[in-house]
Structure 1
Amino acid sequence: MENLIAFFSVIVPFLAVLTIIVFVHEMGHYLVARWNGIAVQVFSIGFGPELVGFNDKNGTRWKVCAIPLGGYVKFLGDMNAASVPDHKELGQIDPQTRSTLFYYKNVWQRIAVVVAGPIANIIFTFIVLYALLLGLGRYTLEATIDGVEPQSPAEIAGLMSDDKVVRVDGYLIRSFGDFQRIVATSPEREIAIEVERAGKNVSLNVVTGSTERTDRFGNVSRIGYLGVSRTAEQEDVIFVRPSPVEAVFITFDEMVLIVDRSFKFLGELILGKGDVDQLGGPVKIAKISGEAASIGIFTLINLMALLSLNIGIFNLFPIPMLDGGHLVYYLYEVVRGKPLSPKIQEMGFRFGLFLVLSLMVFSVFNDVF
């Protein structure tokens, strides 16, 4: 019984988070498609056999399927969920219906539909993080260094006690927590730190070390290490609820930082310098979702926003099968004035499918073993 409860405590939050993210993404595609007069045949959450569904007045089949790991919007005239055109079906459609087909829309309309999914995920992330910041506020601690460990990366670089951290890698530091987060996500990497010292701004370049951290759930991760400390006296901790305008800038800065660190991590993986154990797939995401839910609903909502941002950015990668791959095809059409040949596009989709499936298999293997 305990194992069953533990299973559902992981799988339920995971499916809830994934379903919302997928719905937001596909709704972006759907809305922009409808605004451009495109006939949408299917709006699906999940793949495989249909569990439940209905047809709306526009002829779209809305359904939930048995394999809840994704979703898709299928346009009239598409061969499959990847929006590969079915040229045989296209040739049989009457001329009056052609004006509603995605395939026959101009290239800018197709580009708008393709980028709408990732943009919807990015906007969703902004709205959620912004609402959490305005609604909950946050406790902050001034980013002033109290102590520097001997022979640490901080001391070697010249950081001193009473230095107030102003910026790191160009990002404005509003609290010691901001400083810690950037350092933690920069293991064994050079970072540029600007501090205020005796009324003057001093710029330093610091090469961080790395150390292992074990969280409350026993998960071990490699994080950046600097060797500075901050004593948190009760009177130093301040509750801050930013104004609606200030919250916009804070939320935007947080999202830019997340994207920047994600790309740096990916770059290090490609160069063979990154820690592949930190790469997570569905199993790891499910585990983290369950852990977040056990902390509280707002932690789970925050995680959902961060995953939505990463999924939106990932879908813009120029890989056939992903939205970014379609975008590359359409940008080629803009430049050359004609689309890629169907044969080349089909080869690209097959390569993209192989790449995406390989990544999924690797990530699942990495999660389990």
Structure 2
Amino acid sequence: MMTAFWGIITLGILIFVHELGHFAVAKWSGVKVLRFSLGFGPRLLSWKKGETEYLVCLLPFGGYVQMHGERKNNPDEAPVSSDDDRAFTNKGVFTRMAIVAAGPLTNLLLPFLILPVAYLVGIHTPAYQIATPQVGHVATQSPADDSGFREGDLLASIEGRRVATWEEANSVFAMAAKEEVSVTVSRQGQNQDLQLAKVAGESYDLRSVGIFPEQAAVLGEVFEGDPARVAGLREGDRIVAINGTPINSWYDVGTVINAAGGAEVTVEVQRAEERLRFTMLPEQSSQGRFLIGISPLQETYLKHFPPLEAVKAGAQKTVELMRLTGDFLRQLVAGNISTDNIGGPVMIVQTAGAAAETGIAATLLFLAFLSIQLGFLNLLPVPVLDGGHLVFFLIELIFGRPLPQAAQETALKFGLLLLLLLMGLALFNDFSRFFS
């Protein structure tokens, strides 16, 4: 019940912010706003202030701002005269574009305001960030592997600047304005200078080039219904051997399981004072890897940021989330990402509820991420969405007259059909995940 409550609250905030953008710019432009609605369907609450009626409706998956003269031949309104300067249709094309664009742009601006608050409150940060930067794993055939990095190397300096923690190492590496970065490592008491190539298009942290911190083989999560859970493994177990092969770190786990080629594996764990053995049959993923359904324990600490650092960190995180969302949409359109990754209101409600249980910082981070997605989605050039209306106005700007009404109505019907199909796919994915 609480999960659904927080999910609806999250959606309500995002819809309110979006519609408030349209509403505010319309008011500033002198357009008469007839109705401001959160939700669709039967009204739960309604009141009128000035010339605008405000509504809260039953279905919380959307909202709208109804403006005077927004549609020609609207049966709910008297005909709009050409000299009515408060009608939406009589405003200049740039004004109409500003009103329509204000909704998604407000969604894109919201994270710049709320993420600094999350960083002020405190962000749960991986504990390894404040640990000594000793390499726990080098990914095979990665730039780091090609450059000669080895497990156990201690990162001493990057581009001549000494680093004492993983956080410092990642920061210096990211800021290095070079395609190939000089790194000095301490290996068995001897310093060695190595050249490490950055990977174009990737986030510039050390993981992106194949360098990972030490990670103990302690289970943080054992997924319900997967082989490990069925066999009896539990959160907090430390894996010490698989098929008799000693396990020294988390990175050994996948290697040994995959080496078995899908055959049954025996996992030996330390649980408190006991040594226990469990036998299970791994399942093969769509990528061809063999998995038993476990993830490592991620130790974290709560990091508070001073006000100026919080603003800077919030802005950087917002830009990062925008880039990730843009990349996802491009890959989805190009067919490089499965449509199974598309989620709908059920997934939003579940994730929002989980974030709310974690704390205010996680809730604000999820709210920011979702707000960016909503902003990008509404800017897509699909009729019915704000981006589609912007395309109509752009055509009017180029040719000096609006697209014929019949053409607009046909495009809107096509856009509505496309949006319904997308919503159907999202709901199908949601319920498939829920029931699986």
- Residue 54 of structure 1 aligns to a residue whose secondary structure is strand
Aligned 8 A contact 1:217 1:291 in 2: no
Match of 2:104 among 118, 126, 135: 118
Aligned twin of 2:305: 241
Aligned 8 A contact 2:69 2:87 in 1: yes
Separation in structure 2 between the aligned mates of residue 343 and residue 222 of structure 1, nearest angstrom = 47
- Residue 345 of structure 1 aligns to a residue whose secondary structure is helix
Aligned 8 A contact 2:15 2:38 in 1: yes
- Residue 112 of structure 2 aligns to a residue whose secondary structure is helix
Aligned twin of 1:187: none
Deviation at 1:19, TM superposition (A): 0.5
Runs of 5+ unmatched residues, structure 1: 1-7, 79-83, 168-173, 183-191, 224-231
Distance 1:204-1:298 versus aligned 2 partners, 3 A rule? closer
Aligned twin of 1:5: none
Superposed counterparts of 1:149-168, under 5 Å: 149=138, 151=140, 153=142, 155-158=144-147, 160=149, 161-163=153-155
Distance 1:145-1:60 versus aligned 2 partners, 3 A rule? farther
Match of 1:352 among 415, 419, 431: 415
What is the TM-score of this pair, normalised by structure 1?
A: 0.75
Aligned twin of 2:260: none
Q: CA RMSD in A?
A: 3.9
Distance 1:247-1:294 versus aligned 2 partners, 3 A rule? closer
Aligned twin of 2:26: 33
Deviation at 1:44, TM superposition (A): 0.3
Separation in structure 1 between the aligned mates of residue 340 and residue 209 of structure 2, nearest angstrom = 18
Distance 1:163-1:9 versus aligned 2 partners, 3 A rule? same
Separation in structure 2 between the aligned mates of residue 74 and residue 330 of structure 1, nearest angstrom = 18
- Residue 199 of structure 2 aligns to a residue whose secondary structure is strand
Aligned twin of 1:44: 37
Aligned 8 A contact 1:133 1:241 in 2: yes
Aligned 8 A contact 1:318 1:324 in 2: yes
Runs of 5+ unmatched residues, structure 2: 160-165, 185-192, 203-207, 211-218, 227-284, 288-297
Separation in structure 1 between the aligned mates of residue 333 and residue 90 of structure 2, nearest angstrom = 38
Instruction: Please state if 1:252 is matched with 2:334.
Output: no
- Residue 198 of structure 2 aligns to a residue whose secondary structure is strand
Aligned 8 A contact 2:157 2:183 in 1: no
Distance 1:86-1:233 versus aligned 2 partners, 3 A rule? closer
Superposed counterparts of 1:1-369, under 5 Å: 8-57=1-50, 59-78=51-70, 84-86=71-73, 92-94=79-81, 98-136=84-122, 139=125, 141=129, 144=133, 146-149=135-138, 151=140, 153=142, 155-158=144-147, 160=149, 161-163=153-155, 175=167, 195-198=181-184, 202-205=196-199, 218=223, 239=303, 241-244=305-308, 246-369=309-432
Deviation at 1:248, TM superposition (A): 3.6
- Residue 42 of structure 2 aligns to a residue whose secondary structure is strand
Separation in structure 2 between the aligned mates of residue 233 and residue 49 of structure 1, nearest angstrom = 47
Separation in structure 1 between the aligned mates of residue 369 and residue 39 of structure 2, nearest angstrom = 21
Deviation at 1:108, TM superposition (A): 0.9
What is the TM-score of this pair, normalised by structure 2?
A: 0.65
Separation in structure 2 between the aligned mates of residue 44 and residue 146 of structure 1, nearest angstrom = 55
Separation in structure 2 between the aligned mates of residue 132 and residue 52 of structure 1, nearest angstrom = 32
- Please list the CA deviations of residues 242-279 of structure 1 after superposition, one character each: whole Å capped at 9, or x if unmatched: 452x4443322222221222222222223332143332
Deviation at 1:201, TM superposition (A): 7.0
Aligned 8 A contact 1:77 1:89 in 2: no
Distance 1:134-1:164 versus aligned 2 partners, 3 A rule? farther
Q: Which amino acid aligns with 1:104?
A: N
Separation in structure 2 between the aligned mates of residue 293 and residue 50 of structure 1, nearest angstrom = 27
Deviation at 1:195, TM superposition (A): 4.4
Aligned twin of 2:255: none
Higher-Rg member (1/2): 2
Structure with a larger share of its residues in helix: 1
Distance 1:71-1:89 versus aligned 2 partners, 3 A rule? closer
Distance 1:209-1:350 versus aligned 2 partners, 3 A rule? farther
Aligned 8 A contact 2:122 2:361 in 1: no
Deviation at 1:293, TM superposition (A): 1.8
Separation in structure 1 between the aligned mates of residue 311 and residue 324 of structure 2, nearest angstrom = 20
